[in-house]
Amino acid sequence: MPASTVGFEAKMDHASLLKKVIEAIKDLLGDCTWDCTNTGMSLQSMDSSHVALVNVMMKSEGFARYKCERNLNMGISLASMAKVLKCAGQEDNVIIKTDGDSSTVTFVFGNDDGDRTAEFELKLMNIDVEHLGIPETDYDCIIKMPSGEFKRLCGDLSQFGDSVAISCTKGEVRFEAQGDIGTGHIRLSKKGSADKPDEEISIELEQPVSLTFALKYLNNFAKATPLSATVRLCMSNNHPLCVEYPMPEVGHIRYYLAPKIEEEAD
């Protein structure tokens, strides 16, 4: 028997990136299964209330080193994984490894000097794999804006109601919420990317859209804000919204949420 058969081993230069990914999904998912293949680590799961869908992709190119000898599923508690990642130093790199036979995954944090190593082992779990199809890829309207702007407006409008109506026309997008204490309207205009590309607001519009969503979920999605300076809102009337946080060179987090049906429309 060989000393050790490593089925999967991947190294990231910045453990903080993985930490942000976990922080962005742990409240939504609880436990989940990572699919590890040659092309990268990914996960896809309904949230615990079975309303929103979460998709994370971390491509093999996003790692400093990546080896996956055979496809495997790592079922893991995200709360535990978050606890482990809190033990990583700000500048630490991380190695994630498991062999296909073992029932554990190991995280090794190290700094560049190599004078400190911290190693944590988590038990893996078997989780029912519910492979749900991802909604369409063709949208009537795609809005790109600073992720901080999206986080802020969702938070602000939550003061006024549980849901937000998003309506987008050629040059601008409106977000509106109403409730007992009053109403809130936020209007964003297209904005060039001239000097500061991260502040760009762009609207690609095939057709005007008008959709309503539960702010509770959007606020949860906004926990991915530290991962990306920009966010893309992809919408078609009567279809699920896709909120995408691109991780340049690495992959993305995408959240999907079905619109509310407005029965009280007049």
Partner DNA sequence: ACGTTATTCG
Partner DNA sequence: CGAATAACGT
The binding site for a second copy (CB under 8 A) comprises 77, 80, 83-84, 86-87, 104, 114-123, 149, 153, 156, 159-160, 181-189, 191, 201
Strands (E) in the chain, as ranges, are 8-12, 31-37, 40-46, 52-59, 65-68, 72-77, 93-98, 104-110, 117-123, 141-146, 163-168, 172-179, 182-189, 202-205, 209-214, 230-235, 241-247, 251-257
CB of 148 to DNA, least distance (A): 4
**Residue 226 within binding range of DNA, rule CB under 7 A:** yes
CA-closest candidate to residue 264, choices 161, 171, 112: 161
Find which of a second copy, DNA, none residue 200 binds, CB within 5 to 8 Å per kind: none
Between 52 and 78, CB nearer to a second copy: 78
Interacting residue with DNA among 4, 90, 137, 189 (CB under 7 A) = 90
Q: How far is CA 81 from the centre of its chain?
A: 16
- Amino acid 110 reads G
Beta-bridged to residue 59, according to DSSP, are 40
| Residue showing tokens 């080193």 | 65
49 scored as a contact of DNA (CB under 7 A): no
121 binds DNA (CB under 7 A): no
Instruction: Tell me if residue 122 falls in helix, strand or coil.
Output: strand
CB contact at 8 A, 10 and 95: yes
Would you state the structure tokens that stand for residue 129, as one six-digit string?
A: 């794999």
Of residues 55, 98, 163, 220, which one binds DNA by CB under 7 A?
220
Q: How far is the CB of 156 from a second copy (least distance, A)?
A: 4
* Chain mean position to CA 59: 14
Tokens of 94: 């991380």
Residue 220 binds what, of DNA, a second copy, none (CB under 5 to 8 Å, by partner type)? DNA
Token duo for residue 1: 């028997």
Binding partner selected for residue 184 from DNA, a second copy, none, CB under the kind-specific 5 to 8 Å limit: a second copy
Applying CB under 7 A, the site for DNA has a residue count of 14
Minimal distance, residue 227 CB to DNA, in Å: 9
Residue 75 lies near DNA (rule: CB under 7 A): no
Task: Look at residue 239 and give the partner it binds from a second copy, DNA, none, a contact being a CB closer than 5 to 8 Å depending on partner kind.
Answer: none
Nearer to a second copy, 146 or 251 (CB): 146
Q: Which positions lie near DNA, rule CB under 7 A?
A: 16, 26-27, 86, 89-91, 148, 155, 158, 219-220, 225-226
